[in-house]
Amino acid sequence: MNDPNWFYSAIAQSAAVIVGLIGALVTSRVMMMASERSRIENRINEINAEIKELERQNAPLLEYINEVNRKDEEEDRKEDEESVNNFLRAKKPKLDLENLPTADEMLKELLKENRIRILDEKFISIFKEKYTSVIKEIRLEKEEEIPSKHISELAGLLAGIQLPDLPTIPAPFANLHKHDRYNENQKIIEENNKEISYKNAKIQELQHQVSQIILPEHFRSIIFSLIYFTIVGVILPLGLLPITPEQHLVWKPVVLFLFITGLVVVFLYIFTEIGYITKKPNNARIPEKIPRGENGKR
């Protein structure tokens, strides 16, 4: 009892070893989780880069398809406009200012006699404008009192104009382009879009995995436990090294009690961690199977 330093020194060394071991386990676990998170995030970045590459490949193909569709639409609208012009020229001599049909009635008649490729609001607006112009022309002709003979001859000429019959093509297929390059581009874009959809789904799955990489709820407890055990098991005994034998009789049971409580707290954490690990596989979410590989194959 003449030299109580051995007691406090032994307590401090024992506590330091325990704190070091537990601290190493905690640190390794944190680093492992950080490494796993970093690995998944890197994979997400790689997939995002792959998606951008697919979108870059699609850009010129889409530009070509849009250009072809634009030209096809221009040609179809020109043909539709020509059909309207021919229809109104043929109907002009038969129109009676006293009993004019409405624009909608004329449009229905046009659709019965001609195949319109692009029937939209723009076409209907153009048709109504042209029909209004024809009515104005008829009224001007009446006002100028054009000789009926000339009018009859002009009407005969207009009525005699006949358009060649257009091939009957179903409306949904009127704008299909037959060029091999067009069809090939569409096929490539379709495959790329499927691959992009798959990769987006893969990113969502990886993001879900990242969200699952979290420290357990009791993780803070072990940190506070280690801090407490370090204070009562290492710092306090080291602070009592220059103690007298009389003071040692007072502090010895206190230090021993605090050391034991620190050990209890640490072992409680160990048992809690063991229970958490054993329950984790039972509560773990089973990931859904992905029907295709990353290369796009099933």
pLDDT the model gives residue 196: 94
pLDDT the model gives residue 206: 94
pLDDT for 161 beyond 70: no
Residue 257: C-alpha distances to residues 122, 162, 207, 261, 294 (Å): 91, 113, 47, 6, 60
* Alpha-carbon gap, residue 41 to 44, rounded angstroms: 5
Q: Is residue 291 part of a domain?
A: no
Q: Is residue 31 part of a domain?
A: yes
The mean pLDDT value for 253-258 works out to 88
Q: Is residue 290 part of a domain?
A: no
pLDDT the model gives residue 60: 92
pLDDT for 130 beyond 80: yes
Q: Is residue 251 part of a domain?
A: yes
Residue 12: C-alpha distances to residues 221, 227, 253, 266 (Å): 22, 14, 15, 15
Nearest to 177 by CA among 37, 70, 22: 70
Q: Is residue 77 part of a domain?
A: yes
Nearest to 260 by CA among 3, 26, 14, 5: 14
Note whether 137 and 88 are within 8 A (CB).
no
pLDDT for 150 beyond 60: no
Q: Is residue 298 part of a domain?
A: no
Q: Is residue 16 part of a domain?
A: yes
Number of domains in the chain: 1
Average pLDDT across the chain, whole number: 79
pLDDT the model gives residue 19: 87
Could you list the residue range(s) of the whole structural domain that residue 160 is in? 5-283
Q: Is residue 262 part of a domain?
A: yes
Through-space distance between the first and last CA atoms of the chain, rounded to whole angstroms:
78
**For residue range 234-249, what is the model confidence (pLDDT) as tens digits?**
888 888 877 777 787 8
pLDDT the model gives residue 38: 93
**For residue range 86-113, what is the model confidence (pLDDT) as tens digits?**
888 888 888 877 788 888 888 888 888 8
* Alpha-carbon gap, residue 39 to 33, rounded angstroms: 10
The mean pLDDT value for 23-52 works out to 91
Note whether 95 and 158 are within 8 A (CB).
no
**For residue range 277-294, what is the model confidence (pLDDT) as tens digits?**
776 544 444 444 444 444
**Sign of dihedral through CA atoms 127, 132, 133, 135?**
positive
* Alpha-carbon gap, residue 259 to 223, rounded angstroms: 17
**For residue range 49-90, what is the model confidence (pLDDT) as tens digits?**
999 999 999 999 999 989 888 888 888 888 888 888 988 888
pLDDT the model gives residue 112: 85
pLDDT for 165 beyond 60: no
